[in-house]
Amino acid sequence: MSEEIATLPQLPVTQKIIVHDNSEFSALLDTGKFEQLWRIATIFAGSQLVPVHYQKSKENCFLGLQMAFRLGVDPMMLMQNTFVIGGRPGMESKMIIALINSSGLFEDPLEYEIVGDDPKDAKYKVRAFANRKGTGKSCLGPWIDWSMVRAEGWDSKNGSKWKSIPSQMFCYRAAAFFGRLYCPERLLGMQTAEELQDITPVNGLVSGPMVADVVSRFNNGTVPDELNIEPEAPALEDSQTKNIKKHKEIIEVLEPEPESEPIPECEYCQRNDGQHDNSCPDNTPTTDGRKPELPGW
């Protein structure tokens, strides 16, 4: 006796694509490393020890971790010293100085050449310098002086630290300019918290809660007035609406006014302008409403 075996339809099997990559971008391209980095980002996103723009955002934590690994720094340190403005990450000046000193590109830590004793003196200026490892070449950053500070308007903003701690601000700005000039790959094109404070934000480019979080940490809770986000301007009229209004105005100008009905001619003085001669009966009615009988009419 033969047994019949029912053949069930086979469901399609979804195959997982696994990519192996050992390049500098392996954290993004390698499947195993990507999944592990996402697990770590999930843990950071659930913590209250990271800044506001990382909390409850696995995506921001993932990119922050990837950035920390590329720079070779501790992820927690990087997150505590970075912020987000209009989709662009930035970092505090002390973090920039640490990245320059740990880059291995220079023989010694970053140093500063200072001209003048009083930071508030008009001739006071500072520049950062270091000697390149291997060649011994002296790398000199640009001078930061009061003429640059006032020309850029850095000291004119409300709550500016240029008025209270100018010596520290000179060193911070000199370090940032040095880093962009001699090791921009260590800064990854980021702005500093001090530059954020000095530059008035452009409408629509800065997120209010993010800026408040950064500046509150930098200013001990004081947010400058120029960083308060203004309400968005009302939307401009589109071209079609403007054309309709323009055509209506042209029609109103060109359209002739309706002609008034002609005034009938007076049967006595034959005037048709609405007026009467002094001797016209229509001009001198009697008390009972009848037209007087004047001689000559």
Q: Is residue 241 part of a domain?
A: no
Three-class SS of residue 248? helix
Q: Name the nearest CA neighbour of 110 among 161, 62, 173.
A: 173
pLDDT along the chain (297 residues), means of 10: 60 74 78 91 94 92 90 91 75 91 93 94 95 93 94 83 92 94 87 70 45 49 44 50 58 56 71 71 58 53
pLDDT at residue number 256 = 55
Estimate the share of the chain in helix, then strand, then coil, as percent rounded to the nearest 5: 40, 10, 50
DSSP letters, 173-213, are HHHHHHHHHH-HHHHTTPPBHHHHHHSPPPTTTS-HHHHHH
Angstrom distance (rounded) from CA 179 to CA 185: 9
Q: Is residue 188 part of a domain?
A: yes
Q: Is residue 199 part of a domain?
A: yes
Domain boundary among 80, 96, 112: 80
Angstrom distance (rounded) from CA 161 to CA 168: 9
pLDDT at residue number 209 = 47
Do 135 and 199 sit in the same domain of this protein?
Answer: yes
Q: Is residue 123 part of a domain?
A: yes
Can you give the length of the chain in residues? 297
| Single-letter amino acid code for the residue at 93 | S
In degrees, rounded to 5, the angle at the alpha carbon of residue 82 between the alpha carbons of residues 77 and 85 is: 165
Do 91 and 180 sit in the same domain of this protein?
Answer: yes
Do 22 and 76 sit in the same domain of this protein?
Answer: yes
Domain boundary among 80, 107, 124: 80
Domain boundary among 40, 63, 80: 80
Domain housing 39 = 16-80
Q: Is residue 213 part of a domain?
A: yes
SS3 for 12-80 is CCCCCCCCCCCCCCHHHHCHHHHHHHHHHHHHHHCCCCCCCCCCCCHHHHHHHHHHHHHHCCCHHHHHH
pLDDT at residue number 47 = 93
Sign of dihedral through CA atoms 184, 190, 195, 201? Answer: positive
pTM: 0.58
Distances (CA, A) of 102 to 35, 109, 110: 29, 8, 10
Do 50 and 163 sit in the same domain of this protein?
Answer: no
Do 221 and 171 sit in the same domain of this protein?
Answer: yes
Angstrom distance (rounded) from CA 256 to CA 84: 61
Residues 6+ away with beta carbon under 8 Å from 31:
17, 18, 19, 20
Do 207 and 185 sit in the same domain of this protein?
Answer: yes
pLDDT at residue number 259 = 60
